[in-house]
Structure 1
Amino acid sequence: MTAYTERAQGSPLADFVAEHAQVLSIAIFFLLCMVLFTLGSDNFLTLGNILNVVRQAAPILIVAIAMTFVIITGGIDLSVGSQVALINALAAIIMAMGYPWPSVVVAMIAFGAVTGLAQGWFVAYQGIPAFIVTLAGLSILRGFALYLTQGYSIPIKDAPGFFELGRGVIAGVPIPALIAVVVTVVGYVVLAATKYGRQVIAVGSNMEAARRVGMPAKWVITSVYMVAGIACAVAGLLIAARLGSGSSNAAVGFELQVIAAVVLGGTSLMGGRGTMLGTVLGTMTIAVIGNGLILMHISPFFTQIVTGAIILVAIWLNTRIFTTNFRFGAAKRR
């Protein structure tokens, strides 16, 4: 007869660290970056620079929150930068025709939703890999933006209320940052406390199992790309409002920063696992690195090298170390 014994109770601290290892690791890395750049530049930790960082990081964070949902389902959206550029250019062109900016904002958000919905339909209902669909979208949407603008920047005039969206402050905090905070809170609540959030995680964990228990798996996948399109519309409008113009060259490399932020924050590329807090920390880490390197008089082109290296390391940690079998302070049992 086999005797069974209860498993010894583990240390609460060790269990906590094991459960939140990814978020803790990016939090520590973020703090190290803050310390490094504070020591490297006298201007880094000033109030003006911190506000500048959060203002510039806001569009990235907004799209990264939506991208978290996409990646949790096991997908990816490489077209977000092109979507931002197209909406950025379209908004400027339409406002230059004399249309009021509130109606333009509503129209661009609707356009972003339709664009994302179309890509999601190809992924979910036609079975085309998300990488291929959104890679095609990256080219097509940027091409439309270039065609509409002919490569020129389109100035936005006589829209002071619109400019406030990108340049204004409330209680000393930039409006783009406040919008990003609202989007983050909504994203956190939806993922953690709603039926839809549970469906997103379930579909990312096992789509076939989710479908068999009655979940609208294909619609869930389609919807996350629609959410990404809406987020891109908001980001494109904020960039247009901050710069006072629309350009087909806006948001070049944007998708790299967004994906880096999400993966660095601990969202699994295999799907089924993700955290909004990690995405926030990942976004701010990317923003701080870009800002800190400039203040330390290091070439801004070096930021791309650092971002690429971060993605590689994050993916390695994601797939090799921080798996479901990871245990803090103990070797994996066989």
Structure 2
Amino acid sequence: MTMTTNREATVGSVTRTTSRRGPELLAQLEKYALAVLFAVLCLFFTVYGQTAETFPTLANIRNVLGSQSVVAVAALASILPLTCGKFDLSVGAMIGLSSIVTGSAAATHQLPLVTAVCLGVLSGAVVGLLNGWLVAYRDVNALIATLGTSTVVAGLISLYTENQVLTTGIPEALTDVGSGLWLGVPRTLWALVLISALVYYLLRHTPYGRYLASVGSSPTSARLVGLDVSRMVLSSFVLSGALCGIAGVLLLARAGTANPLVGPGFTLPALSAAFLGATAIKPGTFNVVGTLLGVLFVAFSVNGLVLAGAADWVEPTFNGVALLVAVAVSPAISQRRAGKA
């Protein structure tokens, strides 16, 4: 009798352990699937005949990392409103505006570089303030509000620049940041590391970050516990705009010119990286590490395809497909985890 009972207890314990291992294994797969896929992708392009000589070189890696710093900062800017449950489609427009404002202030109006940079960052924050006011205090749908401001900003940029590229007068101190290396690493990448650390700390280790997540999870519950939801939403857009302003300054430093047409092109890659990041590391949650991984995955995928001889349409198509897949997968992961909790 005792032996039978002990045997049944042992079998029950093994069954419970096995049943726990299934969800735990799935959770680990969700966390690191994108990282594994990224590693496999890099390995493939490293050994593939048409890309083997170029893809794994230090020059190519530096070029990709340096050029993607702007996209990465834009993606980090995107996740602040997204954490509140709000889209921001004006990310690219704010980057373009900041680039034009900074370049014009320094080159055309001969303002000190520090002043020009501050004006560029401020221009992004002002647009973010307008976005936040429309969404938080006028109850305008975030997609409509930010699409509208993006269109208005693009029109104002066109009016001011007459669609002419600013190519002269950009201070060398700024372009040196965009093209130079420090300890063998592009300087723009060091700026990205610093910004990423600050955003990570803000979202993960401050009450403000927890408040943003609470608002995104349930605005009604956030109000019931005393949070000023409107102010939180407004602040997320302002911070997002300021980060886009910084991205615009980095774009100017990297390119050495202020092009009024390039800004809107950053919106889709930024959102693709943000939603891809929400499927990794902390699945179902917009997070900094996952977002950076999403940027790297998209960037090196496109880089490998281009080196393999892919046509120009590959990059926007890849970004669009990545966004669609991530948007489809991320809510499913969130719902599954919420149900498990």
User: How high is the TM-score relative to the length of structure 1?
Assistant: 0.90
Task: Choose which of 189, 193, 208 in structure 2 pairs with 1:181.
Answer: 193
Aligned to 1:51: 62
- The answer on whether the counterparts of 1:72 and 1:267 sit within 8 Å (CA) in structure 2 is no
- The answer on whether the counterparts of 2:67 and 2:254 sit within 8 Å (CA) in structure 1 is no
SS at match of 1:151: coil
Deviations 1:133-177 (Å, cap 9, x if unpaired)?
A: 011011111111111110110124261211122112111111110
Deviation at 1:300, TM superposition (A): 2.3
Q: How far apart are the structure 2 equivalents of 1:324 and 1:18?
A: 15
Aligned to 2:161: 149
Q: How far apart are the structure 1 equivalents of 2:145 and 2:77?
A: 17
The CA RMSD over aligned residues, in Å, is 2.4
Aligned to 1:34: 42
Q: How far apart are the structure 1 equivalents of 2:222 and 2:97?
A: 35
Aligned to 1:233: 245
- The answer on whether the counterparts of 2:95 and 2:245 sit within 8 Å (CA) in structure 1 is yes
Structure 2 alignment gaps of length 5 or more: 1-11
Q: How far apart are the structure 2 equivalents of 1:17 and 1:117?
A: 43
User: Is residue 77 from structure 1 mapped to residue 85 from structure 2 by the alignment?
Assistant: no
Worse overlay, 200-209 or 300-309: 300-309
- The answer on whether the counterparts of 2:285 and 2:334 sit within 8 Å (CA) in structure 1 is no
Task: Choose which of 238, 244, 250 in structure 1 pairs with 2:256.
Answer: 244
- The answer on whether the counterparts of 1:203 and 1:272 sit within 8 Å (CA) in structure 2 is no
SS at match of 1:8: helix
Deviations 1:274-295 (Å, cap 9, x if unpaired)?
A: 2211101101111112211221
Paired letter, 1:23? K
Deviation at 1:256, TM superposition (A): 0.4
Distance 1:252 1:158, change over 3 A: closer
Distance 1:110 1:252, change over 3 A: closer
Task: Choose which of 150, 153, 159 in structure 2 pairs with 1:138.
Answer: 150
Q: How far apart are the structure 2 equivalents of 1:10 and 1:125?
A: 51
- The answer on whether the counterparts of 1:202 and 1:272 sit within 8 Å (CA) in structure 2 is no
Q: How far apart are the structure 1 equivalents of 2:27 and 2:83?
A: 17
Paired residue total: 322
Aligned to 2:330: 318
Aligned to 1:209: 221
More helix by share: 2
Residues 99-178 of structure 1 aligned to structure 2 (within 5 Å) = 99-157=111-169, 159-178=171-190
Deviations 1:180-223 (Å, cap 9, x if unpaired)?
A: 11111111111111100100100000011111111121111111
Paired letter, 1:301? W
Paired letter, 1:172? G
Deviations 1:102-131 (Å, cap 9, x if unpaired)?
A: 110112112211211111111011111100
Distance 1:10 1:115, change over 3 A: farther
Structure 1 alignment gaps of length 5 or more: none
Residues 258-297 of structure 1 aligned to structure 2 (within 5 Å) = 258-266=270-278, 273-297=285-309
Deviation at 1:15, TM superposition (A): 5.0
User: Is residue 90 from structure 1 mapped to residue 90 from structure 2 by the alignment?
Assistant: no
Q: How far apart are the structure 1 equivalents of 2:170 and 2:314?
A: 38
Paired letter, 1:250? V
Deviation at 1:8, TM superposition (A): 3.3
- The answer on whether the counterparts of 2:92 and 2:266 sit within 8 Å (CA) in structure 1 is yes
Q: How far apart are the structure 1 equivalents of 2:181 and 2:319?
A: 29
Q: How far apart are the structure 1 equivalents of 2:267 and 2:96?
A: 11
User: How high is the TM-score relative to the length of structure 2?
Assistant: 0.88
Larger Rg computed on CA atoms: 2
- The answer on whether the counterparts of 1:80 and 1:255 sit within 8 Å (CA) in structure 2 is yes
Paired letter, 2:115? S
Paired letter, 1:192? R
Deviation at 1:319, TM superposition (A): 3.0
User: Is residue 220 from structure 1 mapped to residue 236 from structure 2 by the alignment?
Assistant: no
SS at match of 1:253: helix
- The answer on whether the counterparts of 1:60 and 1:257 sit within 8 Å (CA) in structure 2 is yes
- The answer on whether the counterparts of 2:97 and 2:123 sit within 8 Å (CA) in structure 1 is no
- The answer on whether the counterparts of 1:119 and 1:225 sit within 8 Å (CA) in structure 2 is yes
